[in-house]
Amino acid sequence: MDFLLKISYLIRRPSLCVLGDLTLDTGNYFLFSCPFKWHIWQQVLQDCTLSTITQATIFNALFNLSMPPWNLSHSPLSPMQLIAGVLVGVWKAHWLHVFSAAPFLSTNIIDSTHKLLINFRQEETLFQHKPP
């Protein structure tokens, strides 16, 4: 299917999850509560925060901009940066699946999201150093 046909299909199709579980694709479901995506959110954020992650925490962060009170003394990243990084990782994988038929493999997505967060950390440390 070429690009325009894919877009027209997406516009006309019922709002069902494209990952194959035939659930209505609401905002929450699209962003984080789909079981395939939720696994990625949980794994990456638990790796970074050493805390239990709930869907209510992610909902409040994304929709109410109420960031979780994670103790991140070991990381230069803020909770907002962690949430943004996971959102970018999941979003990128979702659309690669839709438009390029890339497999939605949680292990690969978790690894690439961790790499993205490492890049965030490296960029953050660049701005913490003051020039001589």
Helices 55-63 & 79-100 angle (0-180, nearest 10): 90
Cβ-based neighbour number of residue 85 at 10 Å? 23
Which residue type is seen at 83? I
* Contact (Cβ atoms closer than 8 angstroms) between residue 31 and residue 90: yes
pLDDT in the model for residue 18 = 80
Where along the chain do its domains lie? 32-128
What's this model's pTM, rounded to 2 decimal places? 0.82
Please list the pLDDT of the chain residue by residue as tens digits (132 residues).
566 555 555 555 557 788 876 677 778 888 999 999 999 999 999 999 988 999 999 999 999 999 999 988 777 789 999 999 999 999 999 999 988 999 999 999 999 999 999 998 888 777 766 555
Instruction: Give the residue among 70, 43, 39 at the shortest CA–CA distance from 57.
Output: 70
Token pair 């690669």 is at which residue? 96
pLDDT in the model for residue 132 = 59
pLDDT in the model for residue 29 = 85
Token pair 């984080």 is at which residue? 32
- What are the backbone angles phi and psi of residue 125, rounded to the nearest 5°? -70, -25
Angle (CA) 87 124 59, round 5°: 25
E strands present in 16-73: none
